[in-house]
Amino acid sequence: MTILVTGAKGMLGTDLCRILRENNVEVIEWDLPGNDITDVTRTVNQIKRLRPDRIINLAAYTDVDGCEVAKSRAYAVNVQGTWAVVLGAQKIKAPLLQISTDYVFDGAKDVPYLEDDESNPINYYGLTKAQSEAIVRTKLKEFFIVRTSWLFGKAGKNFVSSILNAAKEKDTLEVVNDQIGSPTYTVDLAQAIHKLIQTDFFGIYHVTNSGICSWFEFAGEIIKLTGLKNKIIPITSNQLERAAKRPKFSTLNNHRYIKTFGQFLRPWRKALAQYLKS
């Protein structure tokens, strides 16, 4: 099997391409500057030339606050870019896996979101990802949409690395305590994607590590596992004053993935411990 992976050099893409190759999958890596999916004509023509068996679209503008400021860029990458990749998939009749986010939901629900729950994004990043999902659903018959959340991994800047860097500079850290989600290790997510992409069990899936927490609790676990002595103070989202509004409760229910494969991803605390050791 040959799989084209866009956004291959990103945090998730790096782990995914490695895991695919370890499982004897031929991988075609796309990323900037060589492959810009916002160039629709070139993207479609390149996909037609390469004719991969399947496509995984990880390419995205994921700076949540940046999306509020650079809306044209966010739209170009997340919506127009997805449209281009989908058109290419249409031309060669290749199934496509699209990565999405918990931020397509508004966070008003008090129980984890199911795959069929209606999206209602409250920031521009979430809106562009919801629009990209709609393109995939309406243009393709054979697709996977994988929503995930709060990613951390070795190949990119993430919350864990940000906390550890801040801990070097400050004895006391302020972290929001009113946003709840599921931290997800890119290695675990990549393994789940590899498992899913080999099947024809098309549809929408929520895939995160097990368990939920606030960013404050997440930071506390990072500090504890690394043996640091920094004090962490809980604050509200309003005190943080960021450009983009965040959902308060964006936990995802992994029901469909668990039902399909009979297993769930390990607890986020265990995944975090391995990440920190590695």
Q: Which residues are catalytic?
A: 125
Strands 26-30 vs 2-6: parallel, antiparallel or unpaired:
parallel
147 - beta bridge partners? 100, 206
* Three-state DSSP state, 158: coil
Characterise 266 by phi-psi region: left (phi > 0), alpha (psi -120 to 50), beta (else): beta
Cβ within 8 Å of residue 65, ≥6 positions away: 242, 243, 244
For the stretch 204-221, what's the b/e string if a residue is b when 16 or more beta carbons lie within 10 angstroms of its beta carbon? bbbbbbbbbbbbbbbbbb
CA 266 to chain centre: 17
Query: Mutual orientation of helices 159-169 and 268-277 as an angle, nearest 10°?
Result: 60
CA distances 208 to 49, 102, 135, 187, Å, are 34, 10, 23, 11
